[in-house]
Structure 1
Amino acid sequence: MMRTAPWMMAVVLAGAPAFAAQPQAPCGGLRFESGRMVFGRPLAPQGAETDACLAHVAQAVLARPAIRSVTVAAKLPDADRLDGRGLAAAKRAADVLVAAGVPRTRVSAMAPPSVEGEPAQLQFAYVERPAQPAVARLRAASGEVEAGATEAQLLARTVGDSLYPGELLRTGADAQAELALADGSTARVVENSLIKMGTIALMANLQRKVQLDLLRGTVETNAAPGGADSIFEVRTRGAVAGVRGTRFRVSAQDDGTSRLETLEGMVALSAEQAEVEVAGGHGSRAKLGSPPEPPRPLLPAPTLVGPRGGAFAAPPKVSWRTLEGAATYRVEVARTADFAAGVQTYDTESAELALPGPRQGKWFWRVMAVDGDGFVGFPSKIYAFDVQP
């Protein structure tokens, strides 16, 4: 059990099931923009490609609990519209959505006049009204970031999208997502991770209860201040960490091992009826079925050699001073100084890395040392360079 504290954050670690690869969207791309669905290409009124796209639309609608209604509009030339073929095409498309699981009461069909010279096509509008408050918003995303109600319904998400209780969020290889939680906290979900959104209850006197489930990978959280008896839970399979601080990393490994790295504050890591307190600058882990190990110091931030600025005709070689106790080094390169966009991660055993190309423009970089047991230390200072071929 977690010990009560004025501001407690709990982290429960768990493994994750195997994740099936998602098929490519058959609509040429699909975006939800201010009440309209935007496709990558015009959607013909009927045909095999249209049916495949409609099935994809149905999955996307079901993956967004806030969408309360969908209107299908068949825009055909007036000669076809006036004899009823336009409305028939819209109703047929609506029936495909219903057959794919969208409630019939939420789908309507219409055949508005078309613009002269415009190809015959289906268009979609939607009304978004959350059935329950969002628990998070996608503040930044880099690479493949997907979310949905179930693993089978995961679809690409974009910055600004809301996430609701029970939804899953997955990051692919070389991807990451930054979430702005409803209580003012932030969570950075690194590559190859899977989390499930829980609930966020905001009560009087700044008291709050936040719940997230880490199913696989790593999440780094910066918790907003909370009132007395507030709780922040990140739960997984093998352990529970009650955080009396603000910044920490939690990792859930495939073998069930839970690893905790406290960057600021104090964390109580619990497993198998045992508990250790892990202060800032230290880490601990709990193997599945075993109590937590004694805290160990995290490796300090590496000292970067260069480049510390400047312009280059090709991607430069970055280097840093070797650090005692480091087994490998993790190099992060990003488009923004907050490492929220265009993030690329490289692991190397040497104290230098020739950055692969091609790349162009301004880039930011930093390095973290990793010990032999996989504990990631403090990040280095951040420097930038420009590539101008």
Structure 2
Amino acid sequence: MDFGFAQEDEDFRAEARAWLAAHAEDARDRRSWERTLGAAGWIGLGWGAGGYGNRTATLTQQVVWAEEYAQSAAPPRSGHIGENLLAPTLMAHGTEEQKSRFLPPIAAGEELWCQGYSEPGAGSDLAGVRTAAVREGDGRAYRVTGQKIWTSLAHEADWCFVLARTEPGSERHRGLTFLLVPMDQPGRIEVRPIRQLTGTSDFNEVFFDGAHAQHVVGGEGNGWRVAMSLLGFERGVSTLAQQIGFARELGSVVRAAVESGAAEDPVVRERLVRQWAELRTMRWNALRTLGGSGDPGAPSVAKLLWAGWHQRLGELAVLVRGAAASVGPADWSLASPYELDAAQHLFLFSRADTIYGGSDQIQRTIIAERVLGLPREPKGAA
């Protein structure tokens, strides 16, 4: 596969780099930053016809923007879920009315989204969803009741796309519907932050108590098909930007290994080289996928690759520092003396990498059954 950058791509890179250098450090908060990005036309690149996005951009230019953003001093994105997950799903399965209503506010950075998939008892096994949606009297809207968990950015979001069961008594993949639910419903929606090992609260529990929803994407009962389509979009261009961050973290681990003397150990050196080689492999695999490989197992393969890689990097980050990795900062005048440094945060947060977004076990099952055609795993097996 020939995946290179033409001169127009490099011109686009220069423009993106210059704009980020001029604006990234002026960001006051994440929500206002989304509006700044939208006003400058950097959200919705390559959305194509329909006038819903901003700039027109080729696939390679989308990769350029993702890489330049990851290398800049710009803050983390709050609009990722709306731009990279919901928007392409609406373009594939939504009505023209839904596209007109929701895509322009996403492109402008005005409306933020969260994802209502996982539930207690139905995390990696998404087909076990129990959140129910019942039609209201006029039949044009639903009341949603249930609980979602591990909901990223729910405390900031204006809307949530929710996978709910609309057919009473249905099981597994059948009877599910993909609903768009406004979050501003006091008394009907409650968001509770979940404190993580790192001390931060990026995830939330969301409780729906008869929440109102009137937008159905893909038709009632077709939620599983829409949900699986969305998960395919989740591992697109943004994967390459994620790898830029991984490369930065790997560089920090290598420097720490040199400073501590751990790099003199041949076993440690071999592990560092392997991390570098595997990261290069992941990049080429991501480019192959974007180039249209047509491999139905590509999203699961990508998740397996980066999750295990990142977890091993977290282990290396503390290994190369030795005993120093187990203590807090030296400045005990800090209000929070047990605040984690970057290596400690990497180690603790990466423990979840092989679980969230579809556990390793689930990804292997998908590859085995849907790609390799192996017999299905017996349900209830020990």
TM-score by length of 1: 0.24
Q: Structure 1 or 2: larger strand share?
A: 1
Max Rg structure: 1
